[in-house]
Structure 1
Amino acid sequence: MPGLNEHDITFLRGLQRGQTITGIVTEIAAFGVTFVDIGGFTAMINIPELSWRPIRHPGDVVAVGEAITAQILDIDLGRGRVSLSLKAPQPDPLIDLRRQIGSVVAGPVTKLVPFGAFLRVEDRPDGLEGLIHKAALAGRSIHVGDVLDVRLVGVDVARRRIDLAPVQDQRADP
């Protein structure tokens, strides 16, 4: 095992996938990987494992020196690597949102794309976003920042997608 001393090997063999472990964030690399000291051994968290919510930079979620609790995703004895997930021990907000299918929510349009518009369905800066398909907009003129009332019509947890439909009696641009 390259570059590993006996202490590291013993430590790694004592870990298990799925185990919850605590550590201290030691570095946030320019390419986005977060490094964590887990008892004298450095583990890493890739960007997709930092949060269930959209993030721009790992520093939005963790800070150097911060104590964190994460779940072990993988232990690679051959390469001397431990991969962690900060989001795995947390509840997935899409599961709660799925229970709200059929309800009406209001939120701002965050992005216009050729196939529709994205709208934030939670009242928080890192809130989840759903898609209103172009066909459902029926030629309505909407702009980024417009606040719309929409019906939550579908939540696909596995594909990380939220489908929305505009409430019929609403006009974004009179």
Structure 2
Amino acid sequence: MASGAIRDFLGGLRPGGIVTGAVESIHTFGVVVRIDGEPDGRCTGFIRIPELAWTRYEHPSDIVRVGERLSLEVLHADLDRGQASLSLRALREDPMVAFADTVGQVVTGPVTKLVPFGLFVRVADGIEGLVPLPEPQQVVGEGDELTVQIVEVDLERRRVLLSAVSAVSAGSAR
């Protein structure tokens, strides 16, 4: 159970409120943040993996660095555990919202991943879409350029559906 000072501090945080703090440590499961004004020098802020960024990334260290100062949105303060759940992505623009207006457009991008049910193509900065099987008639590999049509942008499920138009060899200009 958290000390009285920590409980009082966390009790003053409100969901939707903005706090500032410094990244204390980075782990595969999330990021620990020392929120400005914390009593006893304890680290009470935590950013879960999905709350770091709108885009995909390999490790949280791709997004933040130890010591980096951040502004964060408070999601929830757990007085019993002595921890505040925070979000970095809540304060950043969702790139998918603006991208939703591109349905019907034809774009070229690199194949980023091959999966049993299709392949993923980067169609904009931080946005990948799926070309489902058996769509790609030609053989393509990761890194190859593929021209696709944007068929659907599902904002709720955060998915982009694509249809293959043509493949271009690896390393060729866009």
Fold equivalence (TM over 0.5):
yes
Deviations 1:3-30 (A, max 9, x none): 313x22221111100111111111113x
Deviations 1:103-151 (A, max 9, x none): 11110111112211111112x5xx32110011322x3222222101111
Report the 3-state secondary structure (helix = DSSP H, G, I; strand = E; otherwise coil) of the residue aligned with 2:89: coil
- 1:25 match: 23
Choose which of 149, 163, 166 in structure 2 pairs with 1:151: 149
Cα deviation for residue 171 of structure 1 reads 4.7
What number of residue pairs does the alignment pair up?
164
**Contact residue 32 and residue 46 of structure 2 kept, 8 A:** yes
Structure 2: 5+ residue stretches without partners: 170-174
| RMSD of aligned residue pairs (Cα, Å) | 1.6
Q: What percentage of aligned pairs have identical amino acids?
A: 43
Residue identity in the other structure for 2:164: P
Q: Does 1:100 align with 2:102?
A: yes
- 2:129 match: 130
Query: 1:111 & 1:8 partners in 2: Cα distance?
Result: 45
- 1:79 match: 81
More strand by share: 2
Residue identity in the other structure for 1:108: P
- 1:51 match: 53
Q: Does 1:68 align with 2:66?
A: no
**Contact residue 50 and residue 58 of structure 1 kept, 8 A:** yes
**Contact residue 141 and residue 172 of structure 1 kept, 8 A:** no
**Contact residue 32 and residue 57 of structure 1 kept, 8 A:** no
Report the 3-state secondary structure (helix = DSSP H, G, I; strand = E; otherwise coil) of the residue aligned with 1:88: helix
Choose which of 90, 103, 110 in structure 1 pairs with 2:92: 90
Query: 1:134 & 1:9 partners in 2: Cα distance?
Result: 53
Report the 3-state secondary structure (helix = DSSP H, G, I; strand = E; otherwise coil) of the residue aligned with 1:151: strand
Cα deviation for residue 172 of structure 1 reads 4.5
Q: Cα 1:76–1:136, aligned 2, differ >3 Å: closer, same or farther?
A: same
- 2:34 match: 37
**Contact residue 75 and residue 85 of structure 2 kept, 8 A:** yes
**Contact residue 70 and residue 85 of structure 1 kept, 8 A:** yes
